[in-house]
Chains A and B, each alone.
Chain A
Amino acid sequence: MPAITLYGAEKNYGGNAANAVSNLDLEIDDGEFMCLLGPSGCGKTTTLRMIAGLEHLSDGRIAVGERVVDCVSSGTFVSPEKRGMGLVFQSYALWPHMTVERNTDFGLRLRKVPRAEREARVARVMETLGIEKYRDRYPSQLSGGQQQRVALARMLAVNPDVLLLDEPLSNLDARLRLEMRAELKRLHEEFRTTIVFVTHDQWEAMTLATSIAVMNEGTLQQRGTPNDIYDRPANRFVAEFVGSPPINIIEMAAGSPLAASARTYFTRHFPALDGIGSVGMRPEALAIAATAEDVPSGAFGEEATVSGVLPTGGSWIIELQCKGAKLFLTTHLAPHVEDGDGVQVYIRPEALHVFDDQGNRHGKADDMLGTGAGAKARKTVQPMHA
């Protein structure tokens, strides 16, 4: 199965709109399951459509394996029907005049697959997706989730080398979604299909992907394994976009009491560290202790007041007021605190995310705090989780 490479890919829809995608360098390795993650309008669909060939480039180059499929400077363009990819549309794009069955076997008919094999494959795919009941219905007679499954079945039936999925599970209920995820994962493992998957759902990205590319406003922010993205976000945007509840950020320049106390902590423990713009603390990396004596030595701790305890089923979110700032903490152990309790909140240094003035990850801080070399952030290293 081929790798897909984008070199400086750029897309402008014309007019005086900003680039939908800018200077995108992205390698999707052979057999990878890559998730494109990012806020609405950041260019995920555009990227997928460029790979599929439905959108031509404004600049740059795209190669599939050794073959250049789109290149502005050499004028190469391979049309979508010759790229041999599968794309599941965000809007499903089912053919309204064909039944579910005809929709599903369309690609196989095109490829002139013999009838017996065709029927077997269609039956199998329809069964997997649970749509065999609807085989003779027209798309307009299906619910959104059923249509989505037909859209998926249509592409899975031909078993393409590269499968591009644009939020294919967004309309399914929780159970079905779980089953479909497992099915996609199985499919990926069985056929080693290269999959590019767009999703809004970080949890989905974390569980499915072998690697994640986070985009914002048309540019690539970070590409790495799910753990990389979560544990070593390359910049503030990635840190804040990934994770729920969101990461707690201390703006050092803001001059708040909490920032002052953080500054004191860094001067005392890491005097050589400078250029700190902000500090991030994941909610689950925060911990509480009853008194200052219980805070481990070397950890960054502060007094705080509990202002809310929210059970979320199996875990808890604790809201804290700490020196005028609000912090979120999550825990899987039943907390023995209530509203208004005074506590000590603390975090170990290796769990701190330090960003420089530009909002990029502070490489030197990683070395000093022991969070691992920032330069190696792209490699898969099992993090030392707090």
Chain B
Amino acid sequence: MGSRLMSVVGTPVGRGAVPGFWRRLRYRARISMREPTTLLGILVALLFAYLIIVPIASLLVDAGRVQFGDERRIGAAPGEWTLYYISRALFSPVAGNLFWAPLFNTLSVAIGAITISLAIGGPLAWLVSRTDMFARRWFATALIVPFMLPAWTFALAWTTLFKNRSVGGQLGWFEAMGFAPPDWLAYGQVPITIILALNYIPFFILLFGNALRRFDSQLEDSARMLGARSSTVAFRIIGPMMLPALMSAIILAFAKCIGEFGVPYVLGLPVNYDLLATGLYRSISSRQTGVAAVLAAAIMLIGVISLLIDARLVREARKFVTVGAKGAMSRKSALGPLRVPATAFAALIFLVSVGLPLLTLSLSTIMRVPANFAWSNFTLDYWIGTDLETVALRTGILLSPSLWSAAWNTLTIVGTASICSGLLGLLVGYVVVRTPVRPLAGFLRQVTFLPYLVPGIAFAAAYLSLFAVQRGPIPALYGTAAILLLALVADQMPYASRAGISAMMQLGKDPEEAAQISGAGWLRRMAWIVVPVQKGALVTGILLPFISGIKGLSLFVILAVPATDVLTTYSLRLVDYNYTQAANAVVLIIAAIAYFGTLLAQKLTKTNLADGLGT
């Protein structure tokens, strides 16, 4: 048919003649569609366009259109374009409370927390990766435990210790012992900053420690051979080379910190100390959808800007990495007389950031009255008791059906979402690496990364805005497990797709091509070669999102309803009802699942959390 077409047009046909544009195109199309890869890729791309781009777009549009219920106030029909919400959030008399104060609080908390965690985490990173500190290996694992636990675990530990009389419910230990902690110590900026700082220390140990480990000692040595003193080496060689990695770690931590919800929820809301994330939550609960959209957009914008800066820095850092990549050798510096103080410092940080909070929480769940260490005050009732004298929760937490239904919900919803995102991640990796249609690969890569720029709370708001009402054939999903599932999958895609892409890159195409040559069709190759080889990557790709999903809070707090209660929302409700012991018990259960799950994932896949984080 092609040749007939060409002879009609009058171009000579045959060898040597340039084949027409259309014939080339047809050949290429046939090549591309020969295997299901591209077709699957297109389907997945459509799915993500719907799960990721549409909600975000819909949220942004909400900020500029009249919402239901605001017709009279604005004087326009719902759906019309308006600047009302933006001006209300940014310029009205309430703008201070609504936007500027939370923005200021967010920035000051983030900057404070990161400064502290950098000041502590930086030296620790060096201690655990490049020195002969005592028990170095043990600390390398122990110090990153906070990373495996939900941040608000520590917030609850804090309230258990410092809660004062300005808020109802059980007293904090200090108050109970007679020292009344002032409000600034019990709630608000100071504790939020401290808790976040403690929580981000592992982040620096992991990211910065990784870079330090990869740093080639030969570079140091060659400077020394040229006669440089240790201080010169530190400032002229190690410092400048580590700077991009350090800056990148700071910015990644900052971007994560901006979206942090659980800690300010526990420690800020009682005294009306709002961050952007809690302000957003407040706006959503008070049904101010338009203003919520403006806040969400602001959080996203900060995220996007940080990530753009980070992308630049990573590119910068990459220039350096090659320098020390080959034959990299790392030698441990001897600490000499500082060995004991250094170890004591690490031990102290471990105690403050892991030991004390977990101990406090654990003790609080077996004590009737706070801070009374008499033998008679201890009880296991809050775990396994029956016929308690409380209003609602009349049995120990382990005997309460609500716990088990929340646990079941967590397992099924988060589990299903993780399996979906793990499989989708691998599929995305496969398509990105294999499809001959390069634009499709580029689109998939970017669209699956998009949720990384959007903090969970903003993403949840986006889902709420899109799926709260029926749209086209999609029924209103609010209140169902489906909305949680979809939001979780989308939220986990950045990690899942990155894991999938790097696994497929590592595999290369040769083994699959060899199978193809041997006569294996596409399905065979998937079933016999690709999936079995990527078993490890798949397990990681499912387990890691599962763990982060279990301890995640911001998606659930907005999208879950009592029927779809999960462990995190259940424990928050217990906090709200002032069932301190029970709430702390649930938090401990979550922490235990997250911790042992991480260990299991590392065991199964022989990977290290530290390696996965570096990418």
Contact = CB atoms under 8 A, between A and B. Distances in A.
The prevalent SS among residues of A at the interface is: mixed
Contacts of A73: 2-3, 13, 19, 23, 27
Nearest to B513: A54
A91 B512 CA distance: 13
Contacts of A91: 508, 510
A72 B521 contact: no
Interface stretch (A80-88, A299-307, A313-321): A80-88
Contacts of B515: 95, 106
A74 B3 contact: yes
A154 interface: yes
B518 A75 contact: no
A52 B517 contact: yes
Contacts of A111: 519
A95 B2 contact: no
A159 B130 CA distance: 55
B31 A77 contact: yes
Interface in B5-27: 13, 15-16, 19, 23-24, 26-27
Contacts of A154: 514, 518
Interface residues of A, number: 37
Contact of B511 (A8, A80, A81, A95): A95
Contacts of A4: none
Contact of B517 (A56, A80, A95, A97): A80
A107 B519 contact: yes
B520 to A, nearest CB: 6
Contact of A110 (B16, B27, B35, B518): B518
B10 to A, nearest CB: 16
A158 interface: yes
A171 to B, nearest CB: 16
Interface in A41-95: 52, 54, 56, 59-61, 72-75, 77, 79-82, 84-87, 89, 91-95
A96 interface: yes
Contacts of B510: 89, 91-93
B529 interface: yes
B519 A75 contact: no
A230 interface: no
Nearest to B436: A56
Nearest to B507: A96
Interface in B506-539: 508, 510-511, 513-521, 524, 528-529, 532-533, 535
Contacts of B13: 73
Interface string B22-44: 01101100110011000000000
Contacts of A79: 34-35, 516
Nearest to B521: A81
A241 interface: no
Nearest to B533: A97
B322 to A, nearest CB: 22
A93 B26 CA distance: 31
A93 B514 contact: yes
Nearest to B531: A97
A77 B30 contact: yes
Given A8-B15, A74-B3, A75-B2, A95 B533 contact: yes
Contacts of A72: 19, 23-24, 27
Given A72-B19, A73-B23, A75-B23, A95 B529 contact: yes
A67 B515 CA distance: 23
A26 to B, nearest CB: 14
A84 B508 CA distance: 23
A110 B34 contact: no
Given A91-B510, A94-B511, A110-B524, A77 B34 contact: yes
A89 B34 contact: no
A7 interface: yes
Interface in B56-74: none
A248 B35 CA distance: 53
B19 A158 contact: no
Given A75-B27, A77-B31, A96 B533 contact: yes
Interface in A133-173: 151, 154-155, 158
Contacts of A87: 513-514, 517
Given A81-B519, A81-B521, A97-B533, A75 B514 contact: no
Contact of A7 (B15, B31, B518, B535): B15
Contacts of B535: 97
Contacts of A107: 518-519
A85 B517 contact: yes
A107 B515 CA distance: 8
Contacts of B529: 95
A109 B19 CA distance: 41
B518 to A, nearest CB: 4
A42 B141 CA distance: 51
A77 B29 CA distance: 11
Given A73-B3, A77-B31, A81-B517, A93 B511 contact: yes
Q: Which of B2, B30, B515 has the most CB of A within 10 A?
A: B515
B605 to A, nearest CB: 14
A350 to B, nearest CB: 38
B19 A59 contact: yes
Contacts of B532: 97
Nearest to B510: A93
A54 B516 contact: yes
A74 B3 CA distance: 7
Contacts of B30: 75, 77
A93 B508 CA distance: 9
A200 B23 CA distance: 37
Given A72-B27, A95-B533, A110-B524, A80 B16 contact: no
Interface in A230-278: none
B540 to A, nearest CB: 16
A93 B23 CA distance: 34
A109 to B, nearest CB: 9
Nearest to A90: B510
Contacts of B27: 56, 72-73, 75, 77
Interface of B: 2-3, 13, 15-16, 19, 23-24, 26-27, 30-31, 34-35, 508, 510-511, 513-521, 524, 528-529, 532-533, 535
Given A87-B517, A111-B519, A154-B514, 14 more contacts: A72-B23, A73-B2, A73-B19, A75-B30, A79-B516, A91-B510, A93-B508, A95-B511, A95-B515, A106-B515, A110-B518, A151-B514, A154-B518, A158-B519
Task: Give 4 nearest A-B pairs by CB, closest first.
Answer: A93-B510, A107-B518, A93-B514, A87-B517
Interface of A: 7-8, 52, 54, 56, 59-61, 72-75, 77, 79-82, 84-87, 89, 91-97, 106-107, 110-111, 151, 154-155, 158
19 contacts: A8-B16, A54-B513, A72-B19, A73-B2, A73-B19, A75-B30, A79-B516, A81-B516, A81-B520, A84-B519, A86-B517, A87-B514, A89-B513, A94-B511, A97-B535, A106-B518, A110-B524, A151-B514, A158-B519
